[in-house]
Chain A
Amino acid sequence: MTQIIFYIFGAMLLLSATMVVVIKNPIHAALFLVLSFFSSAAVWLLLNAEFLAIALVLVYVGAVMVLFLFVVMMLDINLATLREGFARYFPLGIIIALLMVIAMGMVVGSDYFASDTYKQISISATQSNTKLLGLAIYTDYLYQFEIAGAILLVAIIAAISLSMSKSKITKSTHPNEQVLAKKEDRLRVVKMKSEEKKG
């Protein structure tokens, strides 16, 4: 049963990951990327890594890809210009792809990731792996985790300050001023006699 589910989601993952690269429409590509995140989350669930799987769906599918789609939908991407240089860059692309495959093979090969060095740690389904992960992160890997957090914080502040710098002339209203506005500030009641028709 588990094997059937694994093969279904594995096939879905490979297929959708291929489609991300192959398909022409950028929105369809983004949606296939969502599908591939989702299927890899399902594969992780089968390995009893429920926290990581759900966090993948929550962070990447639920937030990152939504913003991504948001941007892609707003952009007016011209497909013709995108595909223009395809034939010219194809040989170069093949060479780079080959180099990357070789590099990946050397890193992920059996030298470092052999099945006897990295045995699958038996996590029972009843054990909360959120708790295990939390313990590992906040005791053994505390400094690495905190440094990563600090780097992300710096990145957030940098991104915000970059986007803030240009927008000095905006027509945005200040809610405080709006709330504090009184009737006297905006409204002037003028009393006058009704005009009479001349002539």
Chain B
Amino acid sequence: MLETLYHLISQYILLPLTLFVIPVDYQIEAMIFLQTTIKIFAIIIPVLITVAYFTYAERKVIGFIQGRIGPNRVGLFGFRLWGLGQPIADAVKLIVKEIVIPLNANRTLFVIAPILSLAPALAAWAVIPFDDTKVLADINAGLLYVLALTSLAVYGVIIAGWASNSKYAFLGAMRSAAQIVAYEIAMGFALVGVLIAAGSLNLGEIVNAQAGSVVHWFWLPLLPLFVIYFISGVAETNRAPFDVAEGESEIVAGFHVEYSGMAFSVFFMAEYANMILIAVLSALLFFGGWLSPFQGIIYLEDFFSWVPGMFWLLAKTSIFMFLFLWFRATFPRYRYDQIMRLGWKVFIPITIVWLVIVSALVVTNIPPWFS
């Protein structure tokens, strides 16, 4: 359905547009440019809608975990609909609110900071394969690209904390910088394990290397790396129980105390977009991406063969997204020195040991994964 829509748009809107408006020499390039733009929007808009409803899901899920109902007042078109209108109402409220820039704040950096935190979170989606063929940029070093972009997210936090000219914001920024650098290394090593197992940096090839059955997926040979990757992902996105950068009970709201209105909500969107990204990556790297979980089971594989691969990817992603919410409702916040100890002294040694083990598995061609 998506493909037909895409073809319709490029046939009947883009093609005439370029043929009549653009000079002949540049028509091909213009066409490629417009098609890419459409594909970018086809990824970004669903991501942003998911971000909006992820906030709703978070409030609902944590509400149910804590024996509450959660938001249920704002509906759509006069119907209450379990509060489904809440994200839209929140968005309108935040857009309308004034953005207060503190006195003596560094204006340029203050405004740039939220953009710097959202842009990498969205740009990383360029290399995510949704299916065997559906990927915006099928680049060789896809995994490296994702790692590089997630490591850029820290700049938004640091610059926001510094530019706000506020003690609390600065404390939050310092905490976040140290934490993100620590966990990025563990995360990088976990991804090196995936790289060794798959023999490629291309995300599509990594998924295809896991084909076979549920047991063939990399979560089994890379189990410690998967656990470390996901926990580091929670730490990288500054989510509970690693949310010392916000720490509302100690430093009010950390790096974004001084932000209001849309500037604040851009930070919020970046956090949620990053969570979805980590969830998608966990599904792709360790849980077979778009591959069906019924692959290799005699009867069920044929029975479920009509289900599109994208459905499996989104289903797996949703499970990991739920884990983020579950963590937040379950665990108390880590103490800062314990976070540092966990990152440097526990995770990094474990990943290094497991890299040796994975290399041994690959070299000796251990079935079923590396035969």
Task: Name A residues whose Cβ lies closer than 8 Å to a Cβ of B.
Answer: 1, 27, 31, 34, 50-51, 54-55, 57-58, 61-63, 66-67, 69-70, 73-74, 127-130, 172-173, 175
Contacts and interface: CB of A to CB of B under 8 A. Distances in A.
Contacts of A175: 338, 341
Nearest to A51: B141
B144 interface: yes
A130 B201 CA distance: 8
Contacts of A127: 140
Interface of B: 29, 109, 139-141, 144-145, 147-149, 151-152, 154-155, 158-159, 162, 170, 173-174, 177-178, 180-181, 184, 188, 200-202, 337-338, 341
A69 B116 CA distance: 15
A62 B152 contact: yes
B148 A54 contact: yes
Contacts, number: 71
Of the candidates B141, B178, B184, B202, the one having the most CB atoms from chain A within 10 angstroms of its own CB is: B141
Given A54-B144, A62-B148, A67 B201 contact: no
10 contacts: A50-B139, A54-B141, A57-B148, A57-B149, A58-B148, A58-B188, A63-B184, A66-B155, A172-B337, A175-B338
A31 to B, nearest CB: 7
Provide the main secondary structure of the chain A interface: helix
A66 B151 CA distance: 10
Contact of B151 (A31, A51, A62, A173): A62
A129 B140 contact: yes
A63 B151 contact: yes
Given A62-B152, A63-B181, A69 B158 contact: yes
A34 B155 contact: yes
Which 10 residue pairs of A and B lie closest in terms of their CB atoms, listed nearest first? A62-B151, A58-B148, A57-B148, A128-B140, A54-B144, A50-B141, A54-B148, A70-B177, A54-B141, A1-B29
Given A70-B174, A70-B177, A172-B337, 15 more contacts: A50-B139, A50-B141, A54-B148, A61-B151, A62-B184, A66-B154, A66-B158, A67-B177, A70-B178, A73-B170, A73-B173, A129-B140, A130-B144, A173-B337, A175-B341
A55 B151 CA distance: 11
A5 B36 CA distance: 16
B227 to A, nearest CB: 19
B147 A58 contact: yes
B136 to A, nearest CB: 15
Nearest to B163: A27
Contacts of B140: 50, 127-130
A31 B154 CA distance: 13
Given A51-B144, A57-B148, A57-B152, A66 B180 contact: yes
B338 to A, nearest CB: 7
B159 A130 contact: no
Of the candidates B140, B144, B180, B202, the one having the most CB atoms from chain A within 10 angstroms of its own CB is: B140
